[in-house]
Structure 1
Amino acid sequence: MSDGYRLDVRAVSFGGWSIFYLLVTVGTVLLVMANPTNSATGTAISAVLVVVLEALYWLVARPRLAGIRANSGLAWTFAALAIILFTIGAILNPWSALLLFALTPQIFMLLTPRPATVVIGALNLLPLAGRLLIESHTARQVIQDIGQTAFVITFSLFFASRILSISKQNEERRRLIEELREREAEVAALSAARGAEAERSRISRELHDTLAQGFASIVTLGHAVQGELDRDPAAARRHVALITENARENLAESRRIIAALGPGRLAGASLSEAVQRTVDTWRETTGTDVRLTATGQPAATSAAIDVVALRLVQESLENVRKHAAASRATVTLRYATDEVAIDVHDDGTGLDPTAATAGYGLSGMKARVSEVGGVFDLTSAPGQGTTIHATLPLTGPSASTGEAP
């Protein structure tokens, strides 16, 4: 415990100390009264001083102990009064020296070890010196008194070392607790930052896979309508209807994203039905021949898997429209016992898979599939079309929103 360091509340408020002090005080008073000296008045005064000294501790020092600093003015005041009152009491009746068993820990709790040792030495040596000056002693009695005093001082030094060791352990424990709290705060901040980044990435993919694609379809249909108004009004009306439908779906998607619900196409529909509607809308929008083939026994899939599968089909078809210049595309759903496989194939220009990893659509699809424990694969070559393949477990990680992370 260093000078000025705030006292450890745990060390001074332990209930065992209070019981110990009370027992020592009562025992000392009883022994003093049971072993009177030559003067009955001196014995009574000695007993009263024992009670007064402990009363000062209980009424003045102890209530403020947790809030004062070691070596404070209050601590030194109590130490000075202890030296004076204890010396008088011990000279009047040597049995009052038993109060040292209580005063020693009290002093060490109020002062740092080195000053406390000096005070304990004074509490032992001053009564001895007073008795040697006032009373006549034989050489044997002098040696005996000095030996007893040396023993008490030695015990006090041992006690001081224990107090210092406990104080250092408490200080080290306090420092470690503070460090742990700081580390916990850092971990919490990092977790929050990573969670925010993951959420931003998820929302970015959602916007890319839904609203951006829907607006792209609307733009494509708008250009088609401009060329059809005069020469093919029927086709223009059909495409205007598709624009309205796409705009309505985009509005539903935007509301769904805000409300953090599942994809609009999946509301009240199975995965196969949602993919079929996506294929039909894409065929009407682009004019490219695309067909859906479903094999196996359709099984119940989790909401997270439905989201990933539908987004995979939507993004794959959007890539076909943007980059493939294909005349035909096929979407295949294959249900197995514990998984569902999705293939999207086109007969377009193809691409170099090693150069396609930077495309956000492909990286987003791969990330989605990996997050639910699936496997993503891209097969393509220039001039040979492209096949996107994903295998997904039937049940993915649960989420309160029903979204893939």
Structure 2
Amino acid sequence: MMQRPQRGDPSWIWLLYGWELLGWAITALLAVVTVFGDVPARQAYGSLALMAVLAAAYGLVRHRRGGGRLRAGYAYLGLLVLVLGALSWSRDGFGALYLVFLPQFVVFADGPRSALAASSLGAAAVSVGGTLREGWSWAALGGNSLSSVGVYAVSALAVLVTPKALELRDERARLRAQLAGARTELAEAQKAQGAAEERERLSREIHDTLAQGFASIVALAAAARSGLAADPERTARQLRSIEQTARENLAEARVLVGAAPAGQVAAGSVAATLRRTLDRFTEDTGLAVVAELAEVDCDQPTRIALLRCTQESLANVRKHAAASTVSVVLARQPGAIELEITDDGRGFTPGAHHGFGLDGMRRRLAEFGGELTVTSSVGDGTRILVLIPSYGAPVPSYGTPPAHPEETT
């Protein structure tokens, strides 16, 4: 049973649907003429009752759901044939309603054969009804049948064309449904990807800021407790460092939850920011740090990325390297900013250890088109090289990094 056409449906479907609506508009107009026109009461009441019954049955079948809808459609077609015959018999000119209701023989049938059979019964009913109204004769029957045959030819054409149009309509409907489903899946995938990327970003930020800060606080607290009696002055410095680290962690936490702007992190020049970080590292660990920090111009996100890479590298030195000296060089190269952090510690084999820190650094740098190169071997210390393009310039190549460098944490 044909539903309301959708955008993109074949023009024949729209024509058939408009024809069906026009048929009911003409029926309503005939009802108004019957009520207000000079029509004998018996004919008026009879034709109005027939049209009302037909309209009510049409509404019931149209809104019916479930498996019984097809049977109800055939019952309606049977009623339509009877009503057309009765109207043709009772009123002059009402046989033309066969042409008006012609689309319904196509709409309510389940196939071409059924539609042709039902429309032929409608033509026969109109011919017989008109003949009975005029007075039975074979000549009158032949004249009415001849006019009905012409309309029946139109019905046959509609029956032949409509299934192809419906097939095309259904195919387009399937394609639209598939497109809508694909769009929904794409939106869900993008949403899931966005959520995953946001979780990854938060994990990286927490690891590079809060987790490192808490690890520093734990180490300083343990050192302060052990030296509380032997070296009160050093313990006091360690306590001040604990306080400062806690304040910085609090500031980082406020940035992560959106309670403070990210611009408050790593404020000032990148050289000054790194110098403060290195001074804190020396104060907390006692390791010697050799720094060559050039004044380079960069935006706030790049400054934060350089700071995070420095903090992560120093945290790995403190936890794993057992080094005595750390060298940090910040310089501008052609088209890029270079940060090199080297220690003389125990070193490791890149790719043999798994962790989060270096992978997080690599992902962070990838957002800027930067690169991270890890060079290390057991007993020979570790070299971390960070390259970030400046103002969209391509990163120069300084050798091939290890295939799968992993961090030691």
| TM-score normalised according to structure 2 size | 0.75
State how far apart, in whole Å, the 1-side matches of 2:49 and 2:100 are. Answer: 13
Does structure 2 conserve the Cα–Cα contact (< 8 Å) formed by 1:279 and 1:291? Answer: no
Q: Which residue of 2 aligns with 1:366?
A: 362
Deviates more, 1:384-393 or 1:258-267: 258-267
State how far apart, in whole Å, the 2-side matches of 1:385 and 1:160 are. Answer: 86
Does structure 1 conserve the Cα–Cα contact (< 8 Å) formed by 2:370 and 2:388? Answer: yes
Measured against aligned partners, the alpha-carbon deviations of 1:151-188 in whole angstroms (never above 9, x if no partner) come to 54343122123333333344344444333333333333
State how far apart, in whole Å, the 1-side matches of 2:153 and 2:328 are. Answer: 91
| TM-score normalised according to structure 1 size | 0.75
Does structure 2 conserve the Cα–Cα contact (< 8 Å) formed by 1:351 and 1:381? Answer: yes
SS at structure 1 position matched to 2:121: helix
Q: Which residue of 1 aligns with 2:152?
A: 153
1:360 aligned partner, one-letter code:
F
Q: Which residue of 2 aligns with 1:208?
A: 207
Q: Which residue of 1 aligns with 2:4?
A: 9
State how far apart, in whole Å, the 1-side matches of 2:51 and 2:245 are. Answer: 88
Alpha carbons of structure 1 residues 50 and 302: separation in structure 2 relative to 1, 3 Å: farther
User: What is the percent sequence identity of the aligned residues?
Assistant: 30
1:137 aligned partner, one-letter code:
A
Measured against aligned partners, the alpha-carbon deviations of 1:115-156 in whole angstroms (never above 9, x if no partner) come to 443221111123445649921439xx95x7766555543431
Measured against aligned partners, the alpha-carbon deviations of 1:191-223 in whole angstroms (never above 9, x if no partner) come to 333222222222222222122222222222223
Does structure 1 conserve the Cα–Cα contact (< 8 Å) formed by 2:291 and 2:327? Answer: yes
| 1:345 CA displacement | 1.3
Describe how 1:164-183 pairs up with structure 2 within 5 A: 164-183=163-182
Q: Which residue of 2 aligns with 1:383?
A: 379
**Residues 1:324 and 2:330 are matched in the alignment:** no
| 1:104 CA displacement | 0.7
Does structure 2 conserve the Cα–Cα contact (< 8 Å) formed by 1:53 and 1:85? Answer: yes
Instruction: Say which of 79, 96, 99 aligns to 2:97.
Output: 99
| 1:99 CA displacement | 2.9
State how far apart, in whole Å, the 2-side matches of 1:67 and 1:330 are. Answer: 81
Instruction: Say which of 347, 367, 371 aligns to 2:344.
Output: 347
Does structure 2 conserve the Cα–Cα contact (< 8 Å) formed by 1:121 and 1:153? Answer: yes
1:219 aligned partner, one-letter code:
V
| 1:378 CA displacement | 1.1
1:153 aligned partner, one-letter code:
Y
Does structure 2 conserve the Cα–Cα contact (< 8 Å) formed by 1:49 and 1:86? Answer: no
Measured against aligned partners, the alpha-carbon deviations of 1:229-257 in whole angstroms (never above 9, x if no partner) come to 33322222112211221122222222322
2:254 aligned partner, one-letter code:
R
Does structure 1 conserve the Cα–Cα contact (< 8 Å) formed by 2:61 and 2:76? Answer: no
| 1:316 CA displacement | 0.6
| 1:76 CA displacement | 5.3
| 1:66 CA displacement | 5.0
Alpha carbons of structure 1 residues 265 and 76: separation in structure 2 relative to 1, 3 Å: closer
**Residues 1:393 and 2:395 are matched in the alignment:** no
Alpha carbons of structure 1 residues 92 and 256: separation in structure 2 relative to 1, 3 Å: closer
State how far apart, in whole Å, the 2-side matches of 1:320 and 1:392 are. Answer: 22
State how far apart, in whole Å, the 1-side matches of 2:28 and 2:214 are. Answer: 89
Q: Which residue of 2 aligns with 1:237?
A: 236
Does structure 2 conserve the Cα–Cα contact (< 8 Å) formed by 1:49 and 1:85? Answer: no
Alpha carbons of structure 1 residues 260 and 117: separation in structure 2 relative to 1, 3 Å: farther
Instruction: Say which of 298, 301, 320 aligns to 1:300.
Output: 298
Does structure 2 conserve the Cα–Cα contact (< 8 Å) formed by 1:8 and 1:167? Answer: no
Deviates more, 1:183-192 or 1:383-392: 183-192
Alpha carbons of structure 1 residues 51 and 291: separation in structure 2 relative to 1, 3 Å: farther
Alpha carbons of structure 1 residues 211 and 316: separation in structure 2 relative to 1, 3 Å: same
Q: Which residue of 1 aligns with 2:8?
A: none
Instruction: Say which of 139, 142, 159 aligns to 1:137.
Output: 139
Alpha carbons of structure 1 residues 378 and 55: separation in structure 2 relative to 1, 3 Å: same
Does structure 1 conserve the Cα–Cα contact (< 8 Å) formed by 2:23 and 2:101? Answer: no
Deviates more, 1:153-162 or 1:89-98: 89-98
Q: Which residue of 1 aligns with 2:21?
A: 18
Alpha carbons of structure 1 residues 259 and 127: separation in structure 2 relative to 1, 3 Å: closer
| 1:344 CA displacement | 1.1
Q: How many residues align?
A: 370
Alpha carbons of structure 1 residues 25 and 193: separation in structure 2 relative to 1, 3 Å: closer
Alpha carbons of structure 1 residues 149 and 263: separation in structure 2 relative to 1, 3 Å: closer
Deviates more, 1:315-324 or 1:127-136: 127-136
Alpha carbons of structure 1 residues 24 and 256: separation in structure 2 relative to 1, 3 Å: closer
SS at structure 2 position matched to 1:230: coil
2:349 aligned partner, one-letter code:
D
State how far apart, in whole Å, the 2-side matches of 1:388 and 1:355 are. Answer: 17
Does structure 2 conserve the Cα–Cα contact (< 8 Å) formed by 1:249 and 1:264? Answer: no
1:392 aligned partner, one-letter code:
I
